[in-house]
């Protein structure tokens, strides 16, 4: 269990991040004007986000994709980010998520783009991943939900074509029991696993973005609380507040970092 999930479980919110919880989240978020304002203010653009990727980080990620590439995105929620990546990079993307409400929203919205954009309802832990020979697999704040990083990277690596790559956006915090070095490039938990697998990879630092993100996430959830309540969407606000205090503290203490890892296909793992 990663830091985020153990933190929320500690607060008696064990059901947070379950399929039912995410379905409830996206059922409400897709229709909520206040959620749209929240995302616009916090991320720089409303794409119904539930991760930590702001518009600058997203532009960087989109520039890592090439026209015509065959991409699979894991944990795509209701696919607004997926759709934008497709629009910006011209690649073909299959988005996967277990929240069937979110996948349904994505499918309905993108019906006329089905040749280049598709979405499947898949449990990333229990189901087989569809297709294969992907040029790229993208994971934006979803890798935490798949359990052990090593097993997850092996599972994803097996779906890449030779020469393919993964693009994984993930945070790392330093808790009291962790060494200082865990925040440094080359030393995060993801780095440690990638090194143990002898994978070739590069990492790009988005620490400033993620620290700003959580400070704004905290601030706007409080600023917009009355508006969420007035819509009958206190659930959305409480969902944000359940995690943003913990992250804001780490951001202010400078014990939170974020990297995009570009990981090359590893033939030795397949
Ligand atoms: C933190 S959100 C990130 C969503 C989106 N990538 C973004 O950046 O806004 C994590 C996403 O992973 C999905 N997810 C979590 N556990 C999953 C699982 N076991 N199988 C499939 N999807 C899962 C959730 O439904 C949610 O859409």
Please report, for the domain that includes residue 26, its CATH number.
3.40.50.150
Mean pLDDT of 116-133: 97
In sequence order, what DSSP letters do the residues of the chain get, joined into one string? --HHHHHHHHTT-TTTTSHHHHHHHHHHHTT-HHHHHHHHHHHSS-S---SS--HHHHHHHHTTS-TT-EEEEES-TTSHHHHHHHHHH--EEEEEES-HHHHHHHHHHTGGGTTTEEEEE--TTTSPPP---EEEEEEES-GGGGS-HHHHHHHHHTTEEEEEEEEEEEEEE--TTS-GGGGSTTTSHHHHHHHHTT--EEEEE-HHHHHHHHHHHHHHHHHTHHHHHHHT-HHHHHHHHHHHHHHHHHHHTT-EEEEEEEEE--GGG-
**pLDDT of amino acid 170:** 98
Given the CA of residue 126, which atom of ligand 1 is nearest to it?
19
**pLDDT surpasses 60 at 125:** yes
Taking the C-alpha atoms of residue 100 and residue 26, their distance in angstroms, rounded to an integer, is 10
**pLDDT surpasses 50 at 68:** yes
**pLDDT of amino acid 10:** 42
State whether the beta carbon of 98 lies less than 6 angstroms from ligand 1: yes
Separation of 195 CA from ligand 1 center, angstroms?
26
Given the CA of residue 17, which atom of ligand 1 is nearest to it?
15
Range of the domain at 108: 3-269
**pLDDT surpasses 90 at 194:** yes
Given the CA of residue 169, which atom of ligand 1 is nearest to it?
8
Domain count, the chain: 1
Separation of 139 CA from ligand 1 center, angstroms?
9
State whether the beta carbon of 53 lies less than 6 angstroms from ligand 1: yes
**pLDDT surpasses 70 at 3:** no
**pLDDT surpasses 50 at 1:** no
Mean pLDDT of 87-103: 98
Given the CA of residue 26, which atom of ligand 1 is nearest to it?
27
Q: Taking all residues of the chain, what is their mean pLDDT, rounded to a whole number?
A: 95
State whether the beta carbon of 51 lies less than 6 angstroms from ligand 1: yes
- Contacts (Cβ under 8 Å, ≥6 apart) of 241: 221, 222
**pLDDT surpasses 80 at 9:** no
Separation of 76 CA from ligand 1 center, angstroms?
6
Mean pLDDT of 258-268: 97
> Nearest residue CA, atom 1 of ligand 1?
51
Q: What is the pTM of this model?
A: 0.95
**pLDDT surpasses 70 at 108:** yes
Work out the pLDDT band at 7, boundaries 50, 70, 90: very low
From 3, 142, 213, mutation site for ligand 1 pocket: most ligand atoms within 8 A of C-beta: 142
Q: Token pair 């006329």 is at which residue?
A: 112
* Percent of the chain predicted with pLDDT > 70: 94
From 145, 214, 236, mutation site for ligand 1 pocket: most ligand atoms within 8 A of C-beta: 145
Separation of 75 CA from ligand 1 center, angstroms?
4
Taking the C-alpha atoms of residue 235 and residue 238, their distance in angstroms, rounded to an integer, is 5
Given the CA of residue 49, which atom of ligand 1 is nearest to it?
9
């Amino acid at each position: 269990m990663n830091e985020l999930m153990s933190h929320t479980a500690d607060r008696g919110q064990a059901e947070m991040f379950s399929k039912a919880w995410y379905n409830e989240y996206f059922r409400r978020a897709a229709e909520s004007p206040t959620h749209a304002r929240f995302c616009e203010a916090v991320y720089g653009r409303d794409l119904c986000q539930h991760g930590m990727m702001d518009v600058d980080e997203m532009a960087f990620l989109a520039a890592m994709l090439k026209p015509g590439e065959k991409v699979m995105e894991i944990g795509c929620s209701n696919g607004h980010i997926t759709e934008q990546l497709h629009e910006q990079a011209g690649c073909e993307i299959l988005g996967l998520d277990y929240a069937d409400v979110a996948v349904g929203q994505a499918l309905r919205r993108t019906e006329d783009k089905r040749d280049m954009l598709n979405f499947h309802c898949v449990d990333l832990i229990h189901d087989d991943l569809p297709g294969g020979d992907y040029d790229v697999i993208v994971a934006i704040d979803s890798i935490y939900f798949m359990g052990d990083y090593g097993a997850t990277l092996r599972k994803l690596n097996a779906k890449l074509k030779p020469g393919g790559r993964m693009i994984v956006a993930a945070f790392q915090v330093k808790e009291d029991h962790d060494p200082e070095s865990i925040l440094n490039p080359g030393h995060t938990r993801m780095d440690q696993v990638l090194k143990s697998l002898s994978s070739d990879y590069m990492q790009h630092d988005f620490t400033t973005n993620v620290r700003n993100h959580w400070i704004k996430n905290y601030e706007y959830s409080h600023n917009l609380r009355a508006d969420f309540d007035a819509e009958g969407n206190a659930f959305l606000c409480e969902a944000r507040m359940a995690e943003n205090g913990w992250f804001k503290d780490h951001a202010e203490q400078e014990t939170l970092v974020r990297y995009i890892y570009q990981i090359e296909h590893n033939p030795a793992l397949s």
